[in-house]
């Protein structure tokens, strides 16, 4: 499963990737808005938004791409690795409706 994390803390990027690997996910972290971000998101199975640590422009752009390509969006206001662990575990248990895992 390919999961993109938008936002979060730069210093925790390695922790986010470890959590994803623990659950068998290929995890990519985007901390800043990039021009190719929409192309990258099209290949993902889910996008996790850490809304407290993401720019408004990046979130709006990513939401449009997710809606257009029917990609599940999960929102969390916490940037900790433990919170991410809970979100990904919830996604794994609800494969039919991962968007219900917003925390």
Instruction: Write down the domain spans for the chain.
Output: 2-96
Cβ contact 90:82 at 8 Å: no
Q: 33, 26, 97, 93: which is closest to 65 by C-alpha?
A: 33
What pLDDT does residue 73 have?
92
Report whether pLDDT(36) > 80.
Answer: no
99 Cα distance to chain centroid? 11
Q: Which residues contact 80 (CB under 8 A, 6 or more apart)?
A: 12
> Binning pLDDT at 50, 70 and 90, where does residue 20 land?
very high
Residue of higher predicted confidence among 3 and 31? 3
Please state the pTM of the whole predicted model.
0.88
**In this structure, CATH architecture of domain 2-96:** 3-Layer(aba) Sandwich (3.40)
Beta bridge partners of 73: 47
pLDDT in tens, 67-81: 999 999 999 888 899
């Amino acid at each position: 499963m390919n999961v993109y994390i938008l936002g979060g803390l730069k210093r925790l990027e390695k922790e986010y990737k470890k959590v994803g690997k623990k659950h068998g996910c290929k995890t990519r972290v985007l901390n800043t808005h990039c021009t190719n971000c929409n192309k990258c998101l099209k290949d993902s199975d889910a996008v996790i938004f850490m809304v407290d640590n993401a720019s408004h422009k990046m979130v709006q752009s990513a939401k449009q791409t997710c809606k257009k390509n029917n990609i599940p969006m999960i929102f969390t206001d916490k940037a900790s690795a433990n919170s991410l662990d809970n979100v990904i575990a919830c996604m794994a248990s609800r494969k039919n409706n991962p968007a219900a895992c917003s925390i």
